[in-house]
Structure 1
């Protein structure tokens, strides 16, 4: 979404800030320039995180239900210790033999279908999707890209060109076709129409790339919509990239990866954000035959991607997910969360349809049944004042996007629901 439509955006001059906060905003604008954005009408000055909580400079705690980066909880002690221990022992890139990156690659591949046999490491999901595009173009000889209309896949020059949610100030690449979100539509038919349009313009399709829970399109959890679209892109000679940066690593409560719910086999799987629980770690898993052409003519190197510290962190994240049974927790607590939201909806007309899978929930905010982005924005900012961090998403900006750490508890759910009901009673 663009800055003008983000319901949780800070706009300089729109509200009076305390002198200390105003000074920080001025320093930020002077040092970082105009392209950076701040959340919330009144920005937060956060100084500490622990588990599911973030703390501001005055010591107030906020329940974090938005940042899926620290999906094992902020500053998880086992992950922090692994990071510190490896940094104090050896920290370098992947051009030397080292067991850590191999263990991480093998463990990740073991969670994926056996047809996916290679793992490549980057620092961010943007880089992973950029690399995936390079490989796909070499494998297919095509250049056409199909995405959904409000998709976000990253910020490199190439990837921003197929991330429509960045707004009109970031134009799509001419070889990109954006199709409507698969909500109440025949997604495969829309993908086929995009394939036909690319070919009509002399552009060979290379990839269909989709976030497998369609996060930026409003959180869409129907598991029947993706397989026919994947069949369509394959019939046209293209590949399917499953972008698991947001739904991956157990968030949906049904195994590690969102694509599995759809019964599809990706050609490549991009991953990031929760992979390092706050440390910059991302990657791309892929079928060996997909990279054969690229690997025959190009070498890949990333100074920090898969470095020894990153590998130690990644292995610790996998340990925590397994040992603390976080996938099962996402399933069970997510189900209770969804039940609680539906109960609230029975008493508050502003809560429309809920789409939920595990600890990824999209709650429509409506007025008289019509999507209401302005009301969603008021709720987002009021929840911040009540000590809960949340955001909104979707093409119309009216969907509350709820992605708490996978360590979320029933008590945390009760806290969230209590604060949301307070807000709904106060502002509707």
Structure 2
């Protein structure tokens, strides 16, 4: 299946400048890259929740969790500037900054998670977690949800089905139906646990020992599945009984986004064996990590050296430390809770006015609006969803889609989003649906 909302060269008229850039991209970057939206965007500056194009037009960014504390946040920018002008080195030399950051990060997590190892991207973090899980359990089997996305390395792409059919899943991978309350009859927790237990049984049937169950704790690619809370415990118990580990992928749900908790897995009352981090960790400066129970990484650490030239470098650690400081000083977790609830109320008002909205759900500043052909069948309406996304882009608001039917609006703004921004978003969405 093709990428949703992708630009197709030749489909729309572009300015001479942008046409030339598209041609240059194709010439030097090759055919694998994609541009978002039917009419691509050419940005030259970012500030807070806003991105600015070449003509100075402002676009409300309601999609970008990379710049989670806002584009070009001055405290993060200054931390990077100061450190890059002082020292940029790696983990094979003693340096206090990496320890300052590690201690502050670990203090936000359950005490059982006592070590952190650094990488540069979420894909690398999940790749490292896979290696550790295999070393600790002696198994190779991996259990994921149907439409999961966990990264792009060879090992991780083999358990990222959202990459499409051209990227083959590993024979050691088993998929479980995501716990979607909107599309599940009966007990969501029981259904998900039963799916995990069936996957474990099938791995055993094929002579494969389970190594880990890994989920994005908000099931982002599966459609942002936020309710009910506490439905993960049975599935986590099941993987532990089978000798495997539970890995919480917090690349998208983490760093205060849900409002009530710092980490998405905390909404479920479970403590993972490993937590993987990425994207918003450095507000755009590449840094990621794996937070681990010490007993899980002990034998791996003694028997297999880990080194990554750029991971944990002083500049990235300075950026990441600044991000935690901003979240704390500016009360961004409380802002995510309060503005997120306000936004959700506004979205429910939109749903009341438009039959095409089948469901609205969210946690903090992470929300989903499910677009359906009709409420009785709940059939996904991918075409209308794409039109809504591109109409909103034309009106200056940026979002994207998720879910196996590509019919769920993925709303994930920076944590500095305000009520005024939420009002703008709701108004533009309302108009886009009315124009269907």
TM range (shorter): over 0.9
Q: CA offset at residue 182 of structure 1?
A: 1.1
Partner of 1:38: 35
The farther-off stretch of 300-309 and 14-23 is 14-23
Alpha-carbon distance between aligned partners in 1 of 2:22 and 2:308, rounded to the nearest angstrom: 34
The farther-off stretch of 222-231 and 84-93 is 222-231
| 1:89-100 → structure 2 map (5 Å cutoff) | 89-100=86-97
Residue of structure 2 aligned with 1:241, choices 237, 240, 247: 247
Q: CA offset at residue 22 of structure 1?
A: 1.4
CA-to-aligned-CA distance 1:339-393 (integer Å, 9 cap, x gap): 0000111111122201100000011011212321110000001100000000010
Give the structure-2-normalised TM-score.
Answer: 0.96
Alpha-carbon distance between aligned partners in 1 of 2:407 and 2:152, rounded to the nearest angstrom: 24
Dislocated runs of 4+, deviation >3 Å: none
**Secondary structure of the equivalent of 1:116?**
coil
Is the counterpart of residue 173 in structure 1 residue 170 in structure 2? yes
CA RMSD, aligned part only? 0.9
Partner of 1:115: 112
**Secondary structure of the equivalent of 1:346?**
helix
| 1:264-343 → structure 2 map (5 Å cutoff) | 264-343=270-349
**Secondary structure of the equivalent of 2:221?**
helix
Give yes or no for contact 1:7–1:380 (8 Å, CA) kept in 2: no
Partner of 1:387: 396
Residue of structure 2 aligned with 1:200, choices 197, 205, 208: 205
Partner of 1:23: 20
- Give the number of aligned pairs: 424
Give yes or no for contact 2:351–2:360 (8 Å, CA) kept in 1: no
Give yes or no for contact 2:358–2:374 (8 Å, CA) kept in 1: no
CA-to-aligned-CA distance 1:310-363 (integer Å, 9 cap, x gap): 111111001000000000000000000000000111111122201100000011
Q: CA offset at residue 252 of structure 1?
A: 0.3
CA-to-aligned-CA distance 1:246-305 (integer Å, 9 cap, x gap): 000000001210001001110000001110001001100000000112112111111111
Alpha-carbon distance between aligned partners in 1 of 2:148 and 2:104, rounded to the nearest angstrom: 29
Partner of 1:219: 224
Partner of 1:348: 354
Give the structure-1-normalised TM-score.
Answer: 0.98
Partner of 1:417: 426
**Secondary structure of the equivalent of 2:353?**
coil
Alpha-carbon distance between aligned partners in 2 of 1:296 and 1:96, rounded to the nearest angstrom: 19
Give yes or no for contact 2:339–2:365 (8 Å, CA) kept in 1: yes
Give yes or no for contact 1:129–1:153 (8 Å, CA) kept in 2: yes
Partner of 1:191: 196
Q: Structure 2: 5+ residue runs without aligned partners?
A: none
Q: Structure 1: 5+ residue runs without aligned partners?
A: none
Give yes or no for contact 2:218–2:224 (8 Å, CA) kept in 1: yes
Alpha-carbon distance between aligned partners in 2 of 1:352 and 1:217, rounded to the nearest angstrom: 16
Alpha-carbon distance between aligned partners in 1 of 2:366 and 2:47, rounded to the nearest angstrom: 21
Alpha-carbon distance between aligned partners in 1 of 2:114 and 2:214, rounded to the nearest angstrom: 20
